[in-house]
Each structure stands twice: as C-alpha cells, then as structure tokens.
Amino acid sequence: MYNVNNIFGIQNGYKGFYSSNYVAITPKTVNDIHKRGGTVLGTSRGGHDTKKIVDNIQDRGINQVYIIGGDGTQKGAYEIYKEIRKRGLKVAVAGVPKTIDNDIAIIDKSFGFDSAVEEAQRAINSAHVEACSAENGIGLVKLMGRYSGFIAMYATLASRDVDCCLIPESPFYMDGEGGLLQYVERRLKENKHMVIVVAEGAGQDIIAKSIPASDQLDASGNKLLLDIGLWLTHKIKDHFKSKKMEMTIKYIDPTYMIRAIPSNAADNVYCTLLAHSAIHGAMAGYSFTVGMVNGRHAYIPFYRVTSTRNKVKITDRMWARLLSSTNQPSFLRQKDIDEAREADRLTNKPPLPPVANQNVAKAFDQSASASSNGEI
C-alpha cells in the first residue's frame, strides 16, 4: 500500500541505527503489542552519534523515519533532521511524543500520561488504606516527575484521598510557621491520618542543604536525584519523635510499576490517532513532531517542542484546584509567586528558530519529498 516496500524497527534506541539492530515489521508482528507494557523494540539511555545514524539512513535508502519518545528523544530527532537537511537528503522525520511525565512543550498531553495517572491512583489508594489502619498513620507515595509534577498533581486530583501534594514547580519548606511539618502535625490531630504524594524532583534544594549533593549525571546527562521520599520519611519520623507523639509512616515507591503497565483505553485511542497523523504528514514529505494542540492534531516544528519543557503552572487554576482539594497551604512566599509568573511569561514567549532566514510563521518545516525506493 502507498508503494511502501519495507518497514523496519530499530532495536535498543538510537544506537540501534549503527549497530545493525534492524527487525522487519509486519502487521502480524505488531498485531497485539498495544496490549503489552514496555517496548517491543527495546530502549537505551545516553548520547548517540548523529552522523553515524544519518549515514545508516542514507546507506539503506530509508526515506521516512518515525521516532517515538520523550523530550530527550525529540531533541535527538531534531538533530537527525538537521543533519538530513544539511546533506539535502529526501527523508521525512516524524516525532511522536511518548512520555508519562507529560513534560513535552506545546502539546496538550503526551501518550502514556493518562495510563500513568490511572495506575498512580492504585498506589495512593494503598497508602490511604495503610494510613487509615494505624493511629496517626501517614501514607507517603513518591511518583515520577523529575522536572514536571503532572502525574502527582493529576493523580492527587483524581484520588481525593490526598492531604498534601509536593511537586518540583512549587517550593516548600519544612520547619517553622506554615511549614510542611507543622501542617502534617495539624492534619494528624484533626483526622488521625493523612496521605502525602511527592514527585521525585520535588524539594531537591532542601535535601541538598542537609545531604551533600552529588554532581553525578545519568546516561542521558540528567543530574542524579536524591531520594525525596526516604528523606521526607526520616524527617517526619524525627519531628514526631522530638514531639513525643506516636505515629506510623508507610513509604510507597511505585515508580517503575507505573511505567511498565499496558496503556489504558484512552491512551490506546490517542496513540492510534497520533500514528495516523504522523503517517499522513511523513507521506506528504514533512518533518515535524505530531501532537494534539488545543484539541486539534497539529504538525509542530522540532525547535518548538525542544526549546523548553512543559511544567505545572503554580499560578494557574489547576494548581489552585489542587490546593482546594487537599486543603494544604501553598507553602509559597511572594518571591516564589513572582518568580513563577516571570517563568510563565518567558515560557509563553515563542523561541526563534536557529536558522535566521527560517519563516517563523510556518506551521511546520517541510523536508524534501520522499525517495523513490519506498523503503521506510
């Protein structure tokens, strides 16, 4: 169909391009992969050699490349696209955003996010049961979210059992008037139990003051995070011990359980629509990241989705709704609010493309038309 002769899957991420990790893809081989979690092609972390990848694309006569993944993957797709354009190759590059963190800019949401929020609720429900089963019981759940706290925020709103949600975008402090420890103590005196949800990237600046921070980076170049969940657990225990107040805290870390589940029905439908849009655009010869923007499918230039990161706006109504749901204090000073507003202003300012003569008004970048051999 459409003069497509061969379709290949690249195993183990970008490095699979120049490691000859190619597998033939047919309708039969992908018939039921949507019912499984994880990835059938495998994945990898870390950098890649863009020139080697494009050499391989050129040598094999590939004319369409579909790249699926999060913000780091989309940045890699942009580098590949630039190298392809530099060489004048007739190859279309289509990026499909897939990350549970929902931190890709411009688009309404990324594939995988709804499934992650749904599974996160199971961990929160377990924490609530444990907290209710003990006098002065606390259930503490750590969820994914290195830079963006969307999973924690939406899981909290969906659950309605959470008394406090902590995310990277919203600073908080532990001690003193209006601090987290004072709120936890007050909540236990009122309800005899409470549930706390924390995103993995929250409170890193506070932990660094009491624990020497490591400058080590992971394979993708991200700074290794300190465990906010364990740190909070010990801090809360020490606080109540000093107050001679009995309490029980149960710490739940469902991180990889959430990421490994099969997608739910909503994500299955969304993924299908993204795939259709990506194919239509690539067949027309365009290079882009595909996504839903204000409820409509759109082709977005790579530089727009890679120049910034989608984050929770703590000056927005959704965060205000969360504060109303949990009844937690904002933990914010006026300085924090002013800084958040300035960050929102800068985020909403569209970046200029790296090429000076590129037309900013174009909805997407057009690459050359597809090559004639029909291989994908």
**Residue 197's closest CA among 158, 237, 243?**
158
CA distances, 203 to each of 87, 129, 232, 376 (Å):
45, 26, 9, 45
Angle ∠(215,230,169) on CA atoms, nearest 5: 65
| Residue 55 among the catalytic residues | no
The Cα 217–Cα 221 span in angstroms is: 5
Q: Which residue's entry shows tokens 């379709």?
A: 7
3-state per-residue secondary structure call for the chain: CCCCCECEEECCCHHHHCCCCEEECCCCCCCCHHHCCCCCCCCCCCCCCHHHHHHHHHHHCCCEEEEEECHHHHHHHHHHHHHHHHHCCCCEEEEEEECCCCCECCCCCCECHHHHHHHHHHHHHHHHHHHHCCCCEEEEEEECCCCCCHHHHHHHHHHCCCCEEECCCCCCCCCCCCCHHHHHHHHHHHHCEEEEEEECCCCHHHHHHHCCCCCCECCCCCECCCCHHHHHHHHHHHHHHHCCCCCEEEEECCHHHHHCCCCCHHHHHHHHHHHHHHHHHHHCCEEEEEEEECCEEEEECHHHHHCCECCCCCCCHHHHHHHHHHCCCCCCCHHHHHHHHHHHHHHCCCCCCCCCCCCCCCCCEECCCCCCCCEC
Annotated catalytic residue within 49, 59, 71, 101? 101
Query: Which residues carry out catalysis?
Result: 101
